[in-house]
Amino acid sequence: MSSGYTMPSREDDPVHTVRTIGRLAQILIELRDEYVHRPRADILEQIEQRLDDLLAQRADLRNRIEHARAEK
**pLDDT digit string, tens, across residues 16-58:** 999 999 999 999 999 999 999 999 999 999 999 999 999 999 9
Report helix, strand or coil for 59.
helix
Question: The whole model's pTM is what?
Answer: 0.78
Least confident of 5-9, 32-36, 45-49, 68-72: 5-9
CA 72 to chain centre: 26
